[in-house]
Amino acid sequence: KNFTVKELPGLNHLFQTSQTGLPAEYAKIEETISPEVLHLVGQWILERTGEK
């Protein structure tokens, strides 16, 4: 198995920056996905594929 577990405070389960994490907040969030998450996922992939 090849996985990593990270706690990402301040993000909802859609990986968006949020204040409450409640569904009522979804329509107010303009961010598609947190830049931090994009970076972490990208780095994770690169580390496992050997790509640079």
pTM over 0.85: no
pLDDT tens digits for range 25-45: 999 999 999 999 999 999 999
User: What total of structural domains would you count in the chain?
Assistant: 1
Is residue 8 within 8 A of residue 37, CB to CB? The reply is yes
**Domain residues for 15?**
1-51
| CA 14 to centroid of chain Cα atoms | 7
pLDDT at 52: 63
